[in-house]
Amino acid sequence: MLWTWQVGTAWYRSAKDANAVNRELVESIKTAIHAGYRHLDSAEAYENEESVGQAIVESGVPRGDIFLTTKVAAGLKATTAVEALTKQLALLQTSYVDLYLIHWPFDLGKEGFPTHEEAWKQFEEVKTKGLAKVSSVAWAGATVVVASRIGALTDAGSDGTVTVDRSVQLQA
């Protein structure tokens, strides 16, 4: 069984300085890892990636035994997905993530952000460079729109994954 240890909103900006290591969070994640959790979920927006990376290193569990997810949102406005993930990987102290998600796809196509098509091409490049094993889109509310816009872009060799989030607040 693959349990997910989500360290998102409960730990959002919980360190005194953005992107600083939060020792309480590190210890919590290490406890989860030692209890058998192997899927760790973090995000640029939560500013917890440095603590997640530190916990993985300190846990002593090989990186390959952990399924690591992280997400990008605002980072797509300032730079490309490859550049954003490279910065995130440095914080996470790893050379790759297992799953890389567009955290908030609703901004795609707005001023300063890439279009849906441009973002998907950037995420394909992330996979090609070996920075992420799978890249995808989070949030069910955007799934149909994003899937229809990127559907023509996915090659037969691409996994073309679109994550479906069955959040209660999105089912109304």
More confident residue, 15 or 39: 39
Per residue in 63-106, pLDDT (tens digit) is 999 999 999 887 788 789 999 999 999 999 999 999 998 887 77
* Per-residue pLDDT at 17: 61
Strand partners, 31: none
* CA angle (81 as vertex; 103, 8 as ends), nearest 5: 30
User: Domain count of the chain?
Assistant: 1
Catalytic residues: 46, 103
The whole domain housing 154 covers 4-170
Confidence (pTM): 0.78
Sheet containing strand 39-41, strands side by side: 4-6, 39-41, 67-72, 97-102, 132-137
Per residue in 108-135, pLDDT (tens digit) is 888 888 888 888 889 889 999 999 998 7
Whether residue 150 has pLDDT greater than 80: no
CB atoms within 10 A of CB 92: 25
HSE toward the beta carbon, residue 113, CA cutoff 13 A: 18
Phi-psi category of residue 18: left, alpha or beta, with phi > 0 → left and psi -120 to 50 → alpha: beta
| Contact in structure between 41 and 69 (CB atoms under 8 Å) | yes
**What kind and span of H or E run contains 101?**
strand 97-102
* Per-residue pLDDT at 171: 43
Contacts of 11 (CB under 8 A, 6+ apart): 22, 25, 46, 48, 51
CATH number at residue 142: 3.20.20.100
